[in-house]
Amino acid sequence: MAIKQSSKRRIGVIGTMVWDVIYGRDARGVAVEEWGGISYALAGLDAALPGDWEIVPLIKVGRDLAPRAQAFLRSLRRMAPDAALVEVEAPNQRVELRYHSDDRRSEFLSGGVPGWSWTGLKPLLDLARVDALYINFLSGWELDLQTTQLLRQYFRGPIYCDLHMKVMAVQANGLRTPEPLPNVAEWCGCFDLLQVNEDEMAMMAPDPMALSATALAAGVSCLAVTLAKRGAVYFAAPGFDSIADLPPRSGLSTAPRGGTGALGAVRTALVPAEVARVAPGGGDPTGCGDVWGATYFSRLIVGDRLGEALGAAHRAAARNLEHRGATGLANFLRGELSLR
């Protein structure tokens, strides 16, 4: 991928393009097929970032779906003009989603685009020249622990992570099932900002307070636990209220960088969700957490304070609930006319 010089700030995105087949969302009982996975986060970033930022995907895609994936990228306004997905021979990830309620679903995964090794990722990262990194584990194996630790040691900018499928196993029939995450503290030490939902949190610690203690001690500056319709609860390290509060990195440091080093209490609060304007049972919850996290991080890196960023994330997630699918989602989140 040849990266041209640009005066814009750049956000790198690590995740997986997933082709979804969704059952139980359409009232007619028919399956809906469309892009899922990282596409929701890309749409959220596209809508939330101002014009002086651009998106650089550090994403592999199977050759079978590469043309469709490249077309999706071209539909986004903030995508860097020199951005491109890395095509591989393996079949792209596909997921069959079966909704049992707005909050509960089963997922069956097929395909096998491999994750990144450090020797494969580092040259791409050097070319990309990004100022911030957004990571979302949509397959669960985009990065292993050693590669993520090397990334943290090497990269000087802020790193956001939605752990997502990192706490899910894939059974022989493709069914994804919860699986406890080993080395929780080591994983937490790789990120400045960490996002999990309630189910994912339960695979890491007995309760949110226990996870926050582990995460903040490891170097996370703010942990967010999303609670679906109830909103989100955050745990912020002493002194952290904006990206400017992150201590600077210089060189290949292995030390934690959470908070500012200030003394004081951890701040925590429940931020209620925004009310979506949909009829009962008429909303589409697919991708709400991805849009939430992408918006939250976008607003932080452009200078919003924590409370402002959380509010923007809630509003974006509520808007996402009103829309069907990732196609046209960025326009819908911006308040423009959507065809869906």
Phi and psi angles of residue 248, each rounded to the nearest 5 degrees, phi first: -70, 150
Here the tokens at position 278 are 């949909």
Domain 9-333 in CATH 3.30.590.10? The answer is: no
Cα–Cα dist 61/79, whole Å: 17
Closest Cα partner for 287 from 59, 41, 30, 47?
A: 41
Q: Using one digit for the tens of pLDDT, what is the confidence trace for 87-126?
A: 999 999 999 888 766 666 788 999 989 999 999 999 999 9
Here the tokens at position 9 are 């700030």
* Length of the chain counted residue by residue: 340
Here the tokens at position 189 are 């030490």
Cα–Cα dist 311/234, whole Å: 12
A 10 A CB-CB count for 300 gives: 27
- CA distances, 2 to each of 79, 125, 199, 245 (Å): 15, 12, 40, 33
Cα–Cα dist 241/160, whole Å: 15
pLDDT value for 254:
43
For the whole model, what pTM was predicted?
A: 0.91
Query: Lowest mean pLDDT: which of 62-71, 236-245, 250-259?
Result: 250-259
Burial class of residue 89 (count of CB atoms within 10 Å of its CB; 0-12, 13-18, 19+): exposed
Cα–Cα dist 7/196, whole Å: 33
Cα–Cα dist 139/116, whole Å: 12
pLDDT value for 101:
67
Helices then strands (H, E): number in the chain?
10, 16
Question: Which residues are within 8 A (CB) of 308 and not within 5 positions of it... i.e. 6 or more apart?
Answer: 299
Q: Using one digit for the tens of pLDDT, what is the confidence trace for 140-179?
A: 999 999 999 999 999 999 999 999 999 999 999 989 899 9
R_g (Cα) of the chain, nearest Å = 19
Q: Using one digit for the tens of pLDDT, what is the confidence trace for 295-340?
A: 999 999 999 999 999 999 999 999 998 888 899 999 999 998 544 4
Closest Cα partner for 288 from 102, 120, 90, 97?
A: 102
Report H helices in 89-236.
118-128, 145-154, 184-188, 198-202, 208-218
Q: Using one digit for the tens of pLDDT, what is the confidence trace for 197-252?
A: 999 999 999 999 999 999 999 999 999 999 999 999 999 999 999 999 997 775 44
Assign 3-state DSSP to the chain and report helix, strand, coil percentages, each to 5: 30, 25, 45
DSSP state of 168: E
DSSP state of 268: E
Closest Cα partner for 17 from 78, 86, 89?
A: 86
What is the share, in percent, of the chain residues with pLDDT greater than 90?
Answer: 74
Here the tokens at position 160 are 């956001």
Bridge-based pairing of strands 176-178 and 168-170 is antiparallel
pLDDT value for 260:
54
